Amino acid sequence: MTEAMGSPHRVAVIGGDGIGPEVVAEALKVVAAAGVKLDTSAYDLGADRYLRTGEVLADDVLDELRGFDAILLGAIGPPIGSTAVPSGVMERGLLLRLRFELDLYINLRPFNGAPGSIGAGADFAVVRENTEGPYVGEGGALRRGTAFEVATQGSVNTRHGVERCVRYAFELARGRRGHLTLVHKTNVLTFSGDLWQRTFHDVSLDFPSVGTGYQHVDAACIFLVERPGTYDVIVTDNLFGDILTDLAGAVAGGIGLAASANLNPALTGPSLFEPVHGAAHDIAGTGKANPLAAIRSAAMMLEHLGETEAAERVTAAVLAEQTDMVGSDEPWSTASVGDAVAGRL
């Protein structure tokens, strides 16, 4: 079908480190089985590459990436505890740089609680603001290493950035079950919380069919564990969204199932799709990495590329496989799970 519609989608593939390349290989296997033709270009980026060459993300590589229809990423990062790559170098230099430079202002993370998990049956999505908040790198350190050391790390929130994120979340909720929860900490973060809350209210007027709620982030952590089934869409800032989605992953059956899309809904450049999990070097090469998060992320990519029907089939296959895996004692491997999902299409 895709071929009839024109040339294949051009996708930059960044396997990255640890289990990244393994799970991405399964995702590409499934996309091919879904009948979607991709024109892929592999990019060797990540901690391994940095240790070999000293390069994190060269400007000309970034410019090349801008020319793709989408980017599929496995995982980036050195082994936990490794001191060879200082903390923040890969995060700030590669992943966050891509999010900021490509203006991937939405981090969309869907959760469907697997049977047997405390989130069984829950079906919700977190819309995480992805270009602002405490992630921007505002602040600095003074008198470092002395008894009088000072460190500040500001949270940057703009009306423009918050509004486009909140608007996206309302649109998403309108197309789902019609409920949106704002999560913040307005009782303490009175400046940024006020901006978020007023913006949320203003945008809500354009979406009369969407019911709204508000929760402080600490309370949301309790509700997410105790009654995850009550959520439809959650919208929140960058750091709260980071934390909340790891919690949501654990609630919904494990981080090996958690998919994400870093979206530029304005389509001024490619969007980036990646599982929420990290490089997990300890299990790299063992076949123990669950590729379902990466496969579902690829399904989100297909959706973004307009391959709606294939995206729906792959997502349904992932959810069916996730259910079967939980209910069975059959041993599985990274590749066997990829094969099983492909076989369901």
Residue tagged 């049977």 (tokens): 115
The entry of Mn ion, ligand IPM, none that residue 91 binds, CB within 5 to 8 Å by partner kind: ligand IPM
The alpha carbon torsion through 264, 267, 268, 272 (nearest 10 deg) reads: 40
Active site residue 135: yes
- Binding residues (CB under 6 A) for ligand IPM: these are 91, 95-96, 242, 276
Active site residue 329: no
Residue tagged 């890969």 (tokens): 90
Residue 223: strand, helix, or coil:
helix
Task: Single out the segment in contact with Mn ion by CB under 5 A; choices: 9-17, 30-38, 161-169, 234-242.
Answer: 234-242
Would you say 23 or 325 has its CB closer to Mn ion? 23
**Nearest distance from residue 134's CB to Mn ion, in Å?**
13
Q: Where are the beta strands (DSSP E) in the chain?
A: 9-16, 38-42, 70-75, 106-112, 123-129, 139-142, 150-153, 179-184, 211-216, 233-236, 259-263, 271-275
**Nearest distance from residue 276's CB to ligand IPM, in Å?**
6
**Nearest distance from residue 284's CB to Mn ion, in Å?**
19
**Nearest distance from residue 127's CB to ligand IPM, in Å?**
14
* Contact between 239 and 132 (Cβ < 8 Å): no
Would you say 121 or 137 has its CB closer to ligand IPM? 137
**Nearest distance from residue 82's CB to Mn ion, in Å?**
18
The entry of ligand IPM, Mn ion, none that residue 95 binds, CB within 5 to 8 Å by partner kind: ligand IPM
Would you say 242 or 307 has its CB closer to ligand IPM? 242
Q: Of 135, 168, 231, 232, which is the active-site residue?
A: 135
Please report, as residue ranges, which positions from 236 to 255 form the binding site for Mn ion (by CB under 5 A). Answer: 242
Task: Provide CB contacts within 8 A for 63, sequence distance 6+.
Answer: none
Q: Where are the beta strands (DSSP E) in 102-205?
A: 106-112, 123-129, 139-142, 150-153, 179-184
In angstroms, rounded to a whole number, what is the distance separating the alpha carbons of residues 244 and 217? 8
Task: Provide CB contacts within 8 A for 144, sequence distance 6+.
Answer: none
The entry of ligand IPM, Mn ion, none that residue 310 binds, CB within 5 to 8 Å by partner kind: none
The entry of Mn ion, ligand IPM, none that residue 13 binds, CB within 5 to 8 Å by partner kind: none
Active site residue 17: no
Would you say 199 or 260 has its CB closer to ligand IPM? 260
Q: Which two tokens stand for residue 294?
A: 């990466």
Would you say 276 or 337 has its CB closer to ligand IPM? 276
Q: Does 69 bind Mn ion (CB under 5 A)?
A: no
* Contact between 259 and 110 (Cβ < 8 Å): yes
Q: Of 194, 202, 206, 218, which is the active-site residue?
A: 218
Q: Does 129 bind Mn ion (CB under 5 A)?
A: no
Task: Provide CB contacts within 8 A for 304, sequence distance 6+.
Answer: 70, 261, 263, 271, 273
CA distances from 37 to 110, 192, 265, 314, 316 (A): 25, 44, 23, 14, 20
Would you say 48 or 242 has its CB closer to Mn ion? 242
Element (H, E) at 191: helix 190-204
Q: Of 69, 185, 231, 232, which is the active-site residue?
A: 185
Q: Of 44, 246, 324, 339, which is the active-site residue?
A: 246
**Nearest distance from residue 109's CB to ligand IPM, in Å?**
8
The entry of ligand IPM, Mn ion, none that residue 106 binds, CB within 5 to 8 Å by partner kind: none
Q: Known catalytic residues? A: 135, 185, 218, 242, 246
Q: Where do contacts with Mn ion occur on this chain (CB under 5 A)?
A: 242
